[in-house]
Amino acid sequence: MWLGSEKFSAEDMEAGVCSDRKMSTQLPTYLLGYLFTTEEMRAIFSDQRRIQAMLDFEAALGRALARVGVIPQASAAAIGSKCDAKLFSMEALSQEAALAGNLAIPMVKQLTTLVTKSDEKAGGFVHWGATSQDAIDTGTVLQLRDALELMDQALVKLCDAIARICETHKSTLLAGRTWLQQGPAVTLGLKAAGWLAAVERHRERTREIRKRVLVLQFGGAVGTLAALGDRGPAVAAALAEELKLALPNLPWHAHRDRFAEVATTMGLLVGSLGKIARDISLMAQTEVSEVAEPAAPGRGGSSTMPQKRNPVGSAVVLAAAIRVPALVSVMLTSMVQEHERGLGGWHAEWETLPEICTLTAGALAHLTQVLGGLEINSSKMNANLEITHGLILAEAVAVALGEKIGRMTAHKIVEKASRRATETSRPFLDVLMEDAEVRKHFSAEDIKRLLDPKNYTGSAEAMVEKVLSDRKQKP
């Protein structure tokens, strides 16, 4: 953990505060930070931001208590004036959390010390009626609010990049592939439309979960708000208003479905991003060479092979797609918590959920960059359509012949011809025309038309248009 460059005296460390001196807000140097996440998302889940979010809860709690008449307005103001993470010793918080079991206990201790120095009476009202989990969970919710907003902006940019590919290449032919083997032609626009439709669904999911996750956590020791007597509900309502969060019908200390839903939603998103990255990296293979990631100085090189142009963006996305599911499983497993406040399961979330969010943000950023500058080699796509010498259109011939002699009989004839063409390395057209049943119903020109990929793309273009049209209807 980065502790800042400022030195503190023994007295400061013993008190656990930085007096009125300010700690640097500079983020730590993290060697892989730019590779696996974004600076913005890393800032949201930095140590400084984590503590500030918890302090925002404490400041808002003071204001809510004053609004309801539990504490004086002056005390609320005194508390709020010290709710600045720059006044706190991160080193002391880190060390004391190891003993206390969470960050809220030493943070409240430091805050109380700071407030008491300026207003002894107000110091007695710090954290009034709350418990550690209230500060930690609500602080996490405040971080998630910023993270989800950032995620939505990133998803919009990604969708824009994919939509441009759909529009530009809705008719660009390339081989469809099933089980990594070539099949009939599709269009690049259709492939991208599949990507776009999936990401648009994830946009809907990330927006939908906000109403369930952006809620206050405030229940006191066991979720009854007993320390506030009959004024507990009023304080909770005022606190939710202060933080601009929804007020749930009751505290949710041991019910972790809200945070688990964020994790699983991010897991689904990263899975789709991984599918797109897998497609791109396969299409970028030397032997296929249909697309390439954007070129830039220092990007995708090799330490030993000068000719290499590695798909580094896809690699990062795929790395996230490997890591995130395991982290999601931690969040799901941690849902099984004990009675009114969990032991261990709650603790397991603290680093896991931020890591899921930061990895997702990195994958989004890399994929947006890749797709925004994707180099598309349509001539190689056309060349790849020809490498089977017509075999990828066997289905088209079988369908046309089936209309004349029945599906099963036609399938056997075309299957036999396909096998002969493969074994003898001859054009599929020539082998087909050697079959008397084929010649009985089709001329060589008829078969040539059936083997033209552009004549067998079905509703591909219409599907692309439908995806693009549906997107325009969404906010």
Contact of 225 with 233, CB cutoff 8 Å: yes
Crossing angle (nearest 10°) for helices 188-208 and 460-472: 30
The catalytic position among 323, 341, 420, 449 is: 341
Length of the chain, please? 475
In terms of C-beta density within 10 A (0-12 exposed, 13-18 middle, 19 or more buried), how is residue 298 classed?
exposed
Q: Which of 349, 341, 357 is nearest to 269 (CA)?
A: 357
Task: Give CA–CA dist 209/454, Å, rounded.
Answer: 43
CA neighbours closer than 13 Å in the CB half-sphere of residue 89: 25
User: If DSSP codes are grouped into helix, strand and coil, which group holds residue 376?
Assistant: strand
The contacts of residue 276 (CB under 8 Å, 6+ apart) are 195, 317, 367, 371
Residues 6+ apart with CB under 8 A from 204: 474
d(CA 474, CA 27): 37
CA distance 438 to 133: 76
Report the alpha-carbon distance of residue 344 to residue 335 in Å, rounded: 10
- Rounded CA gap, 181 and 189, in Å? 20
Sign of the C-alpha dihedral computed for residues 242, 247, 251 and 253 taken in this order: negative
- Between the alpha carbon of residue 382 and those of residues 11, 34, 181, 364, 453, the distances in Å are 74, 37, 16, 30, 9
- Cβ neighbours around 62 below 10 Å, total: 30
Active site residue 341: yes
* Catalytic hit among 302, 379, 443, 459: 302
Q: Is the four-CA dihedral 442, 443, 444, 445 of positive or negative sign?
A: negative
Q: Which amino acid is at 409?
A: T
Residue the block writes with tokens 């400084």? 48
Q: Would you name the residues annotated as active-site residues? A: 302, 341
